[in-house]
Chains A and B, each alone.
Chain A
Amino acid sequence: MLFPQNISKSGEWVDRLFYLGLILTSIAFVLVIATLIYFLIRYRCQANQKAYYTHGDSKKAIGLTLALAIIVFFAIDINLAVHDHFAWEEIWGRATNAKNPLQIEVMPEQFAWNIRYAGNDGIFGTADDVATINEMHIPVNRPINVALKSKDVIHSFFIPNFRIKQDAVPGLVTYLSFQAVQTGQFDIACAEHCGLGHYRMRGQLTVEDEAAWQKWLAEKSDENTGTENWGWQWEAASRESN
């Protein structure tokens, strides 16, 4: 309704967290504003009606204020934090223990996504690697682990339909996991301002069934893209050439 279509196995947790937060904060907000409006009407200035002289610093007043603040803290804040904790366990904790994940390396640069698959041998940095630009294909219902490292400035790998985002930082490898439950075509966006072309740094994610994906990988493999000189060793290599 408010979010883009969810195609991730655990994306619902994110949406649920939002709706829980929306309900809790709306209650708090409506209560405050309703009280405010009631006071504004009830205690508007009227002839021969004087305000009640109190500093509100009696033990009773301060105790009541503090008690209310702490009730709000537990009812909303701690409540949300606990739900956030379980959502984290579900989305990120489970993902690291997933069985038979597909590993993908992504190295963004201004203004494109370089994407790399290990190929048939399952090892990165060999001749049968598959490298694409702005084109990511993944099999449905299989855990995907993405490792990110930027070539130049900070980019942020964002797929709204999965409710996930991870910065790609130069000099640092970051990780991201997700699993699709539906096939289709989706956008990969850059969420961190990375320069003039930030708005057009768009990748295409294709989720397809295992067979179609295998076929695509085989086709790509024939193009011999894997020999292009980048991978996790690109940094050391570029330093040597300098």
Chain B
Amino acid sequence: MSQTNQQKKSFIRKYIFSTDHKIIAVQYLLTGLVFLAFGGLMVFIIRWQLAYPWQPIPVIGPIMFGASGGIVLPEVYSMLFTMHGGIMVFFAVTPIILGALGNFTIPLEIGAQDMAFPRLNMLSYWSLFLGSILIIVSFFVPGGAAGSGWTIYAPLSASLKTSPGWGQDLFILGLTFDAVSILMGGVNYIVTIMNLRAPGMSFGRMPLTNWGLFYSSVLNTLWLPLVAAALFMVLFDRRLGTAFFLAGPLAPHEGGQVLLYQHLFWGFGHPEVYILILPVWGLVGDLLSVFSRKPAFGYKATVISMGAIVTLSGIVWGHHMFTSGMNPLVGKAFMLLTITISVPTAVLFLNWLGTLWRGSIHMTAPMLFTLGIVFVFGIGGLTGLFHAMQVFDIYIHDTYFVVGHFHYTLAASVLFGVFAFVYFWFPKIFGKPMLEKIGKIHFWLTFVFLNCVFFSMMRVGLAGHMRRIADPTAYAFLKPIQSWNVFMGWAALFLVLSQFLFFFNFFYSLFRKKKAIHNPWNVCTLAWTTTSPPPVHNFEKVPTVYGGPHEYSSPEAKDKDFLPQSEPRSGQTAYPGKAAQVVPTPKLGMWVFLISEIMLFAGLIGSYIVLRLGSYDWPHPGEILNTSLLGINTFVLITSSLTLVLGVNAVQNRDVPSLKKYLLATIALGLTFLVIKGFDYSHMWHEGFTITTNLFGSCYYMLTGFHALHVFSGVILLTYLWFAASFKSVTQEVLSGRVEASGLYWHFIDIVWVVLFAILCLL
């Protein structure tokens, strides 16, 4: 009895609430595949409606839409294209590319035993899981799922009059949990790559996939909080009666700035493309090298080019807004910035061709998908140029030309990346080989039908076919191209059906007996030196790295055509990797987290400044706010920083009783701040200054409210530390690290308050 209990518990610990990065990677992979199938099946209904508008869908129509006689109603159509986009981007490819590829390959490829923060890693997956539950639930609430497009453009999304029901709110909440998950993952990836590399694993010896994942994590840390800020404000507009993004009759008062939402959204939205494509580019670089049996051509140039793209991606968002009413001169600047991205992209392509040049090319299933990425990303990248041209973009903006373009870059390229990843890494993940032949057939079918659909999208886009319309036949200028919609419908059906080959291959290979060998593809990197699947802590002995990740056909390799990274070579010593830890792990994790916190507040405070500058009816803060009370609060918070500094000092001197004393003082001061804050709120609310009074009221409560939440979580953190200081299990060193990291967070909260106090009361 007790033994079965023991086994049961160990099963849950081992496979459900696991902190092993490999198990978490599989959890991400399966979640992503489920949503990939879900979002993929939606395609069929969308394309049916466009091919045969208002015709009942055969077979599945009466089952799914019985109430309307098997016909897709306009509101259902809105839901379908919204959730298709939202699910595919955030719940299908993001979990697979960042969650599964990132989790599985980072520790294995850099020679680490696990992630830097294994428990945070587990939390990251479960946050995504919670988000995905909310997304699924949103289909079943009254009014159905969100229908304002995956871009959630305000004001359509931001008012209950135009988007009634809870679907929109659940979509936003689901995305928030997904964003929290991605951020936790990002902190983990960055810290792991920076601090846990095996001896000798310098940055210049990392596989390109890891570089891509590192860059993506940097982009996520920087830009994801921006869209989180925007989505919070949309929720406020919907449920709390504010009007950050509403104007005109929809707004309860003068209203805010409608276009502000788009700036915040695309500030994240454009980097998002690179967040998903950078790891795929890295994968392309690595796999081309493996299957050409040749080192990656221009490794350094590739890494620098990817870095250049990371930098540029943050300053080109305006090209999504050429028709929004933007100043043409600003548009020109965005056009020029956008086209400069093609220089580093061209370098990437040339290096890929260089890798193939004079290689010994093996056409395996993962190689086919890799070459497929080069093809589809070639189309996707080049059609991007048409969107960079302001004049031409004005014509094709919001048409199917854009839809085709981003399906080539974001769907085709990333999806091929997903397949290349699965076919290549499957033997290592599960210890079983996949069926090569079926993989190849899967590639060719997918390649052909995918191009049929996505290329036709661009064709109808040139004819002016708007996106997100439920019935193209209503327009005279679209009548001549309706046959293309029919063609796309059938091609999409076959595209979706072809994927059953993949799912069959996946599960058949998973459950058959045949076992994979350690290194079926003859790869140089560390992951392939351990068993398939790897043991719990990856390596029996932490490997030492002596060379680069792509030493194929190296003249130094004796009996084989590759030289593993962990194999010593003549006259070469290992690079002292371990000494490279400049910042200790807990502190580094906190710094990365604080960068995203800074971006969150930058989004909120930046919005406040934009709203204030754009308003013609701004009240005088001094007449509304109780400045002296807020001044006292500023004093309280600054004092609390001082007591915490004394606490950090105490723990460094191994003086635990003093530490506990100072922690208690800091907690008390933090609580005092919150009590004064609450008093301030209730006082002003009774005086009639509420969150809905005007824009200033909305901004005041939103900014100080978010800050108060941060103070509250800081108090909880410090209370935990107070208890941890008494635990015997927590060593002095660990405690010291945690107190220092928490100190950083607390000081950050104080600085934010000083900034808020200054801009809200004094300006």
- Residue positions of A touching B, CB distance < 8 A: 2-5, 13-14, 17-18, 21, 25, 28-29, 32-33, 35-36, 39-40, 43-46, 49-57, 61-62, 65-66, 68-70, 72-73, 76-78, 80-81, 83-85, 87-88, 91-92, 110, 150-154, 156, 158, 160-161, 163-167, 169-172, 174, 185-187, 189-200, 202, 235, 238-239
Contact = CB atoms under 8 A, between A and B. Distances in A.
Given A13-B391, A45-B361, A189-B466, A161 B477 contact: yes
Interface centre among A29, A40, A153, A192 (most CB of B within 10 A): A153
A67 to B, nearest CB: 10
Contact of B391 (A14, A29, A52, A153): A14
Contacts of B388: 77, 80-81
Contacts of A62: 298, 300-301
Contacts of B335: 81, 84
A193 B554 CA distance: 56
Interface of B: 74-75, 77-78, 147-149, 153, 155-156, 159, 161-162, 246-251, 254-255, 257-259, 292-301, 323-325, 328, 332, 335-336, 339-340, 342-344, 346-347, 349-351, 353-363, 371, 374-375, 378-379, 382-383, 385-386, 388-392, 394-395, 397-399, 459, 462-464, 466-471, 474-477, 548, 550, 552-555, 561
Given A92-B328, A172-B247, 5 more contacts: A21-B386, A25-B382, A61-B354, A191-B397, A198-B78
B398 A170 contact: no
Given A66-B347, A152-B155, A169 B325 contact: yes
A178 to B, nearest CB: 12
Nearest to B472: A199
A211 B354 CA distance: 66
B367 to A, nearest CB: 10
Contact of B356 (A18, A39, A185, A238): A39
Given A3-B464, A44-B363, A170-B258, A50 B323 contact: no
A151 B251 CA distance: 11
B562 to A, nearest CB: 10
B361 A200 contact: no
Contact of B360 (A13, A49, A239): A49
A232 B36 CA distance: 47
B475 A189 contact: yes
Contact of B378 (A29, A186, A190): A29
B322 to A, nearest CB: 9
A199 B74 contact: yes
A73 B385 contact: no
Nearest to B552: A51
A80 B389 contact: yes
A171 B553 contact: no
A45 B353 CA distance: 16
B258 A171 contact: yes
Contacts of A153: 153, 155-156, 159, 162, 250
Contact of B475 (A77, A152, A202): A202
Contacts of B375: 33, 36
Q: Which 3 A-B pairs have the closest CB atoms?
A: A171-B247, A160-B464, A56-B297
A197 to B, nearest CB: 7
A87 B468 CA distance: 29
A85 B257 CA distance: 29
A65 B469 contact: no
Contacts of A151: 248-249
A81 B389 CA distance: 6
A29 B553 contact: no
16 contacts: A25-B385, A36-B356, A50-B561, A51-B292, A55-B295, A61-B298, A69-B344, A84-B391, A110-B162, A152-B161, A153-B162, A154-B155, A163-B394, A192-B398, A194-B156, A195-B78
Contact of B462 (A3, A39, A164, A200): A3
B295 to A, nearest CB: 5
Contacts of A199: 74, 77, 469-471, 474
B343 A70 contact: yes
Contacts of B248: 150-152, 170-171, 235, 238
B362 A193 contact: no
A2 B397 contact: no
A51 B247 CA distance: 64
B394 A164 contact: yes
Given A3-B464, A25-B385, A57-B298, A72 B323 contact: no
Given A76-B385, A154-B155, A187-B475, A43 B292 contact: yes
B358 A152 contact: no
Contacts of B325: 166-167, 169, 172, 174
B613 to A, nearest CB: 14
Contact of A45 (B293, B374, B390): B293
Given A57-B300, A92-B328, A238-B249, A2 B389 contact: no
A65 B349 CA distance: 10
Nearest to B459: A2
B397 A165 contact: yes
A51 to B, nearest CB: 4
B347 A170 contact: no
Contacts of A160: 395, 463-464, 477
Contacts of A189: 464, 466, 475
Contact of B323 (A13, A77, A156, A196): A156
B153 A84 contact: no
A202 B473 CA distance: 12
Nearest to B257: A171
B62 to A, nearest CB: 23
A91 B347 contact: no
Contacts of A192: 153, 398
Given A70-B343, A164-B395, A202-B475, A25 B362 contact: no
Contacts of A29: 378-379, 382
A221 B504 CA distance: 69
Interface centre among A3, A55, A156 (most CB of B within 10 A): A55
Contacts of B351: 56, 65
A43 B357 contact: yes
